[in-house]
Structure 1
Amino acid sequence: MNKTKKYTLIFVVVCFLLIGGVGIYHAYFASPSQSAKQVTDNTENQVQQEMTDSKQKEEVSQEKKEEQENQTSQQEKKEEQVNQVSQQEKKQSSKQKPESQSTQQKQTTTSNQETSTSHQTQVEDVPEKEEEVYIEEEIASVYVTITGVDGVMAQDYIEYEEGISAYDALKILADNYEMPVSTSGIGQAIYVKGINGLMEFDYGGMSGWKYKVNGTYPQTSAGACTLKDGDQVEWVYSTNG
């Protein structure tokens, strides 16, 4: 080969090497710096966008606050106006009430006077009634008592009936007090043996029941002794005959 061809080949090879080295250099060293710049640029753009967004949001929130404040102020004004109107109405009604009350009182007083005068005239027109005197009719009765060993066992007034006997009066009083009466004999010959379980001979051979009319002992049996209105009959248990 000629020397010129050798030098040209060497030169071409060297040029390729240089071109390859430059490409490798740009690929591995120059590109990171550019990517870093792009990243920083992107972050700055994002930050700026966020700042603008926040500013816009603040402006919107301030506008909303202002609107709310305006609305509240308007509502307060309306409420004040309503309160004023209600107070005025109350004052007017309070002024009117005493007048109406006074008129009502006047009307009531006049009506009361009219009723009182009409009542007086009616009372004057009505003639006085004669006082009615009620006389209680005395009921015919007989007073009967039953006295045992320990004291009075029963006593009360018995309605008088024509032909009532001393035994009849005793039986009515004993029935009212639910006291049993044991007897012997019948009719006018009846004999009282016991009253409410207190029997003859319970306190000795001479003990038994006797009766008095107006303080005296009759000589007839209790069935044959007729009573009069107002008589007092006393049945007594005697221990010595």
Structure 2
Amino acid sequence: MNKTKKYTLIFIVLCFIFIGGAGIYHTCFVPNQEAKEVVENKETESEVSQQVDVSKETSQQDESSQEKEKKQTSQKKEKKTEQKTESQTTKKIDEDASNQKTSEPKQQPQETLEEVEEESQIEEVASINVIITGVDGVMAQDYVEFEEGMSAYDALKILADNYEMTVKISGIGQAVYVKGINGLMEFDYGGQSGWKYKVNGAYPSLGAGAYILKDGDQVEWIYSTNG
């Protein structure tokens, strides 16, 4: 029985020792491990947060760089657009200026009074004054345009046509003879009555078809009752 009690006591003591050792172990070592785990967890969280911050900063930098690139690209486009607009405006201005130069009529030098008078004199010289005088006075009078080689008969015929007057003739060419004008015929006022002409106040010795006029001549056809 003594041996049994001894073994029992020893077992109890060992149990107490084991329980005490376990308690000491838990008291000393487990809290330290938990503290280490807490520290490790905090370090991990800080690293994660740092990584997150770094990623945020990186993304912000990327965004800012993208924005800068966009701004630079837009500025380049605006500059190109402005340059293009300026070139088009300059081109349009040049075209307008060239069109204005083309459309502007050339200024003619002002004519002096002497030049105007000379031109009027030239116009007057380049015509023939033709008069048709009947028994009762002047039947027609006007200036006709002068042409090279115009005869006294040609001038009469132009004036008569302008006044719608008929001319009766005999012969042709240089041998033409005027017998009547506007119904007034030769011999209507006697055996010596008829038409004859004078140039610049004188009676030519040539027939009306053969006499060639000059610029500024005056031709008068007169009906004479006494030859």
Q: Structure 2 length normalisation: TM-score?
A: 0.48
Q: Structure 1 length normalisation: TM-score?
A: 0.45
